[in-house]
Amino acid sequence: MWKCPKCGREFKNTNQGHYCGKAPKTVDEYTEQQIPETKEHITNLRNIIKKCVPGVS
Ligand SMILES: [Zn+2]
């Protein structure tokens, strides 16, 4: 078990991505709360979507 030092919640995986007490309002907030690897993955994914779909931010 791993206990988040910020919100005190316990998870099976160390550095488990979670809302840390409050739910994110935007995708940016959600991305901010992820572990670095996940964050990079989401950012890459969003860049690909932006390139492929005009008008999506
Ligand atoms: Zn937390």
Q: How many domains does the chain have?
A: 1
Closest C-alpha among 6, 1, 3 to residue 33: 6
Q: Is 11 helix (H, G, I), strand (E, B) or coil?
A: strand
Classify residue 25: in a domain, yes or no: yes
Q: Identify whether 45 is part of a domain.
A: yes
pLDDT 10s digits, 2-43 = 999 988 889 999 988 887 777 778 888 888 878 899 999 999
Query: Which residues make up the environment of ion ligand 1, defined by Cβ < 5 Å?
Result: 4, 6-7, 20
**Span from the CA of 32 to the centroid of ligand 1 (angstroms):** 12
**Residue at 29 is within a domain:** yes
Q: Give the residue numbers spanning the domain of 13.
A: 2-52
Q: How far apart are CA 17 and CA 56, in angstroms?
A: 25
User: What pLDDT, in 10s, does the model give residues 40-54?
Assistant: 999 999 999 999 988
Is residue 12 a part of any domain in this protein? Answer: yes
Q: What is the pLDDT of residue 25?
A: 84
pTM for the model stands at 0.44
Question: Domain for residue 57, yes or no?
Answer: no
Q: What is the pLDDT of residue 57?
A: 63
Residue 17 lies in a domain: yes
51 CA distance to ligand 1 middle (Å):
33
For ligand 1, the distance from its centroid to the CA atom of residue 2, given in whole angstroms, is: 10
